[in-house]
Amino acid sequence: MNTRLTWICHGATAASRKALFPLDEPLDDRAAEEAGRMAALPRADRIITSPALRARQTAEALRLQAETDQALRDCDHGRWAGRPITAIGAEEPDDLLAWMSDPEAAPHGGESFLALRRRVAGWMDEQSLLAGHVIAISHAAVIRAAVAHVLQAPLSAFWLIDVEPLAVLRMTSNGQRWSLRL
């Protein structure tokens, strides 16, 4: 059973342009226009999106009828949500350093990168059992976790993976393992 998984990162928001930890904000106007101009996507058996407004709006701009799935939600940034990373660095430098260097740390009271990777890997394994082509509209952190999982990379690699707004990334599974497809 083969599965094709096409990841699409949601479009830019005011928070992403200002380096804020995200809240459930809408796409900015330019991102909606950019998504509307993207090349046509291949037919899919399942189209799934994060429940976040910015992901659902990206699906709409792409003219995709998507179901939502909680497993595709963004990393929970706890009390840091909506705040600038520079402010966190100034107010809680040790906590920020712990979060960026220890995959099991969640000093913000939210989700660790280890927990995020486990959630994403579990969702991918479920999709692999269903086979077919899946389009998933989600967040940069979720896609970074998926790439680290597929490459069996240490979670420290999370910070070395840059996922731009509206990036498209493809993966395949033969039912035994996932591969990154470039």
Q: Which residue has the tokens 């979060």?
A: 99
**Cβ–Cβ < 8 Å for 120, 146:** yes
Looking at residue 110, its pLDDT comes to 95
Looking at residue 42, its pLDDT comes to 85
Going by C-alpha positions, the residue among 152, 119, 118, 147 that lies closest to residue 50 is 119
Decide: residue 157, CB within 10 A, 0-12 exposed, 13-18 middle, 19+ buried. middle
Token code pair at residue 177: 């393992």
Q: What is the DSSP letter of 151?
A: T
CA–CA separation, 166 and 16 (whole Å): 12
Number of residues that this document lists for the chain: 182
Going by C-alpha positions, the residue among 79, 59, 82 that lies closest to residue 69 is 59
Give the residue numbers spanning the domain of 74: 3-181
**Cβ–Cβ < 8 Å for 10, 139:** yes
Catalogue the E-assigned strands of the chain. Answer: 3-9, 46-49, 67-68, 132-138, 168-173, 178-181
In this predicted model, what pLDDT tens digit does every residue of 81-133 receive, in sequence order? 999 999 999 999 999 999 999 999 999 999 999 999 999 999 999 999 999 99
Centre a 10 Å sphere on the Cβ of residue 23 and count the other Cβ atoms it contains.
16
Going by C-alpha positions, the residue among 37, 42, 34 that lies closest to residue 17 is 34
Looking at residue 143, its pLDDT comes to 98
CATH of the domain at 12: 3.40.50.1240
Looking at residue 91, its pLDDT comes to 96
Using alpha carbons only, give the angle 169, 173, 178 rounded to the nearest 5 degrees. 70
Q: How many domains does the chain have?
A: 1
Ranges of residues in the chain whose predicted pLDDT is under 70? none
